[in-house]
Structure 1
Amino acid sequence: MSTSRTALILFLAAAGLFAAGCDKKPADEAGKQAKEPDKVVATVNGEKLMQSDYQNYLQLRQQQVGPIPDKDKEKQIVMDELIEKMLLAQHAISTKLDQEPEVSSLMKRVREEILVQAVKRKLLRDNPITEDDVKKRFEQEVEATHKTEYKVRHILVKDEAEAKDILAQIEKGAKFDKLAKDKSVDTQSGKNGGELGWINQGMVVPEFFNAVMAMKKGAVSAAPVKSDFGWHIIKVEDTRPLKIPAFEEFMADQRARANIQRKMQDDRIGNLVKDLKGKAKITVN
């Protein structure tokens, strides 16, 4: 690949266009392009602009700003933008901007990001997630899920001493919802008397949920509960069995299905990184 064309690709990647979606062609279109020989669509100061460059940029541009109904006009706009970017990239190289430490470092990071995305795409393409894979993961998630959900209120403050003072007031008969309105720094729930509604595992931070699981219905936490947000006084108002959907119902929920598939993809990528780390020689100064 020529230096100028490399610079063009880096230019597009730095703009968030190249790495973000260059694998999103429909399968038939990608197959058709793979079979057809690439051809030169323009030459800029002796550097070739290929049909594949044009198609990639056109697709990514359409994802960013939408297609232009007038296809001849769109073609002209895309060609003009590509040529301008090539000219700017060539000018940067001719004036040695690519050798400046800050620019060189940025280009290195962008190149790494392109390669990272390419590795991820290939890994997921070579190891597609099947419906059987999703079903197995769904069953594992169900098995690990706490089977009760809780209706709770809380009062959140930043200081432990204040939390203990509020707890002492509750023990003396002060109204929980009134204290939540007056004292809680979680203003969203505070204006509703500290009400969080029904929660289950994963909806709140682990420290909070662990405390809730240990409490009985109608109880207020015996001591303030610390989390990254501050100090919580918790009240469990009610409990009920968690309704878990059947697998077929789960698969019909597009968002839920996408979430579990994303988690599975992240796990596969994480396993590859773990394997690479295990084999690598890494020194941190």
Structure 2
Amino acid sequence: MKKQLLHAAVAATLLGAVSMAAHAQNIAVVNGQPVPKARVDMLAQQLAAAGRPVTAEMEPQLKEEIISREVFMQEARKQGLDATDDYKAQLDLARQAILIRQLFTNYTKTHPVTDAEVQAEYDKFVAANAGKEYKARHILVESEDQAKKIIADIKKGAKFEDIAKKQSKDPGSGANGGDLDWANPSSFVPEFSEAMIKLNKGEMTQTPVKSQFGWHIIRVDDVRQAQLPKLEEVKPQIVQQLSQQRLQKYQEDLRAKAKVE
């Protein structure tokens, strides 16, 4: 009899321990259905991935959200909505999206961008943007005659900035008196760049410059050596760009190799 009582006590203790462990893995039991803590963890991960890290103060809100979802899901099943064709079609699309996202995430994780690749991309950027930068202004008009008249007016004393605000077709720079800010010559169309780099500080084109956008009057306000960011400052952007390019190439390769009939 004592042995039987002992066995019963041990069994009760073990059952209690198992029950406590199971309860620790769940945040609640809704209508007899356990709600696992893993759902809260997954929701927190999704929010963090979207740029909204979960703080300790937010955890009760996440728990209530997961419990509410369980309540609503149970009611939907009770009404038989999980058996409808519309639900099944949407579920199939959702499964595809999740699996594809996992595929791309795994590819990015297993094919990281190396420091050597980042350095090579940065060197290309430096080579393309090194040299001089120009702080220029321009006035863009539709006809050559109009541009010639503006040049003549400026020579007579009219203010470049005022004419740009009133007559320039370029709404972005026109509102700022034609100001294009500091830029590398490669930022502009070839005709514009070729005319601009011939000017010294304070000089204006003496004849209109034609481009695909119309006729330009260009003035250079200042010239300096290019101010390029250091590698450490742009490394995250370079990594992201190279990762996206690599992932796009992977997608294109998969599509090209697929047998589609």
Shorter-chain TM-score category?
A: 0.5 to 0.7
**Does the 8 Å CA contact 1:167/1:233 hold for their aligned counterparts?**
yes
**Does the 8 Å CA contact 2:144/2:215 hold for their aligned counterparts?**
no
- Indicate the larger mover: 256-265 or 117-126: 117-126
User: Pick from 244, 253, 256: which aligns with 1:275?
Assistant: 253
Q: Matches of 2:68 and 2:189 in 1, distance apart? A: 56
Task: Show CA shifts across 1:57-82 (max 9, x none).
Answer: 2344576385244xxxx554332210
Q: Which residue of 1 aligns with 2:108?
A: 124
Shift of 1:89: 3.3
* Secondary structure of 1:213 counterpart: helix
Q: Matches of 1:181 and 1:105 in 2, distance apart? A: 56
* Secondary structure of 1:152 counterpart: strand
**Does the 8 Å CA contact 1:92/1:98 hold for their aligned counterparts?**
no
Identical pairs, percent: 24
Does residue 156 of structure 2 align to residue 169 of structure 1?
Answer: no
Shift of 1:234: 5.2
Match runs of 1:1-285 below 5 Å: 39-44=25-30, 49-60=35-46, 64=52, 66-69=54-57, 75-93=59-77, 94-96=79-81, 99=84, 101=86, 110-145=94-129, 147-156=131-140, 162-164=142-144, 166-174=146-154, 175=158, 176-184=160-168, 186-187=170-171, 189-200=173-184, 204=187, 208-215=188-195, 216-217=198-199, 218-219=204-205, 222-226=209-213, 231=214, 233=216, 235-237=218-220, 238-244=222-228, 249-251=230-232, 253=233, 256-281=234-259
**Does the 8 Å CA contact 1:211/1:221 hold for their aligned counterparts?**
no
Q: State the one-letter code of the partner of 1:272.
A: Y
Q: State the one-letter code of the partner of 1:49.
A: V
**Does the 8 Å CA contact 1:163/1:232 hold for their aligned counterparts?**
yes
Q: Which residue of 1 aligns with 2:12?
A: none
**Does the 8 Å CA contact 1:223/1:233 hold for their aligned counterparts?**
yes
- Residue 95 and residue 265 in structure 1: after superposition, are their counterparts in 2 closer, same or farther (change >3 A)? same
Shift of 1:272: 0.5
Q: List alignment gaps of at least 5 residues for structure 1.
A: 1-37
Q: Which residue of 2 aligns with 1:32?
A: none
Aligned length: 223
**Does the 8 Å CA contact 1:167/1:223 hold for their aligned counterparts?**
no
- Residue 114 and residue 190 in structure 1: after superposition, are their counterparts in 2 closer, same or farther (change >3 A)? same
* Secondary structure of 2:245 counterpart: helix
Q: Matches of 1:109 and 1:200 in 2, distance apart? A: 47
Q: State the one-letter code of the partner of 2:137.
A: R
Q: Which residue of 2 aligns with 1:3?
A: none
Shift of 1:263: 0.8
Q: Matches of 1:165 and 1:100 in 2, distance apart? A: 68
Task: Show CA shifts across 1:155-207 (max 9, x none).
Answer: 356xxxx35454242344445433211023555532432111211267x5xxx
Q: Matches of 2:140 and 2:152 in 1, distance apart? A: 19
RMSD: 3.6
Shift of 1:43: 4.7
Q: List alignment gaps of at least 5 residues for structure 2.
A: 1-23
**Does the 8 Å CA contact 1:149/1:198 hold for their aligned counterparts?**
yes
Q: Which has the larger radius of gyration?
A: 2
